Structure 1
Amino acid sequence: MQQENTGLAGYIRKTFALSETDVRTYSPLTLAFIGDAVFDLVIRTCVVECGNAPVNKLHKKSSKLVQATAQAELYHLIADQLTEEEAAIYKRGRNAKSFTSAKNAGIIEYRTATGLEALVGYLYLTDQMSRLLELIKPQIDKLVSIS
């Protein structure tokens, strides 16, 4: 499902003349790889925009929200809002066989977080940033409450 190149991913593809690939052909762990970075970038952007602070404080705030435990919690908050297609992407990511594990989370939380990251990666690569932000807004609201 490729959308018009209106988001950051589309802009990057256009700028660097990258060929369009059907994102549904990517492995779920590839989607999770990019989704991890995108999720982190969104959270860090919000942390920075909440106010200037020493970098270690910014890191602590963002780390709380991007760790596997927090991502698994977020998934449970939004699970019933996912479309059929989004739920399928999430499940592919959750069920993917990863050779790494989380430092501070159990296997179930880690797999749930991997599924969420795969979904984030999918939404980013298909230029659905507004949908992505709508889904992760509960995590952003949590950030505002701890600021």
Structure 2
Amino acid sequence: MQNLQYEQMNGLSLAYIGDAIYELEVRQHLLSLGLTKVNDLQKHSRHYVSAKAHAALFAQMMTDDLLTDSELVYFKRGRNAKSHTKAKNTDVVTYRISTGVEALFGFLHLSGQTERISTLMNWIFEQVESGRANA
């Protein structure tokens, strides 16, 4: 991968790549649990990959003081980005938080912080599977 200037990217560009990274992590996790039927995979993925799930998980991240200052900067860059698309099936605030979460993962990926992505994703899997972060 070429050296992308993530520091200069707007929040929506970070969210664009972060969405893919996050989705891939969730899909790999669900397959590792032994789920193989597409309908089951889709049903379970909604607990992780939806604007409401992202908002619930972000609230829990804040409660647990999980994010670093620089991670919060990139979250806010995504959350505060002016999007020309409308939120589907959710309110604007929830949609913006979701975009912030995606931007956070975009930042982590583009800055090469794969270990941090794994740490956060494992935390996310624990929250969802324990019922601690309900969307």
Q: What is the TM-score when the length of structure 2 is the normalising length?
A: 0.87
Q: Is residue 106 of structure 1 aligned with residue 91 of structure 2?
A: yes
Equivalent AA in structure 1 for residue 16 of structure 2? F
Equivalent AA in structure 1 for residue 47 of structure 2? K
Residue identity over aligned pairs, in percent, reads 39
The offset of 1:143, in angstroms, is: 4.7
Q: Deviations over 1:20-40 (max 9, x none)?
A: 132111111000000011111
**Whole-Å separation in 1 of the counterparts to 2:73 and 2:95:** 18
The offset of 1:87, in angstroms, is: 0.8
| Cα pair 1:47 1:143 within 8 Å, conserved | no
The offset of 1:86, in angstroms, is: 0.9
**Residue in structure 1 matching 2:46, options 57, 60, 63:** 63
| Cα pair 1:74 1:138 within 8 Å, conserved | no
Which residue of structure 1 aligns with residue 34 of structure 2? 51
Which residue of structure 2 aligns with residue 34 of structure 1? 17
**Residue in structure 2 matching 1:141, options 109, 126, 130:** 126
Equivalent AA in structure 1 for residue 50 of structure 2? Q
Max Rg structure:
1
Distance 1:145 1:109, change over 3 A: same
**Whole-Å separation in 2 of the counterparts to 1:120 and 1:55:** 25
Q: What is the TM-score when the length of structure 1 is the normalising length?
A: 0.80
The offset of 1:57, in angstroms, is: 0.8
Residue segments in structure 2 that go unaligned for 5+ positions in a row: none
Q: How many residues align?
A: 129
| Cα pair 1:69 1:113 within 8 Å, conserved | yes
**Whole-Å separation in 2 of the counterparts to 1:47 and 1:143:** 12
- Indicate the RMSD between aligned Cα atoms, in angstroms: 1.6
Q: Deviations over 1:66-120 (max 9, x none)?
A: 0000011111111322211111111111100011133222111110110110000
**3-state DSSP class of the match of 2:48?**
helix
Which range moves more in the overlay, 132-141 or 42-51?
132-141
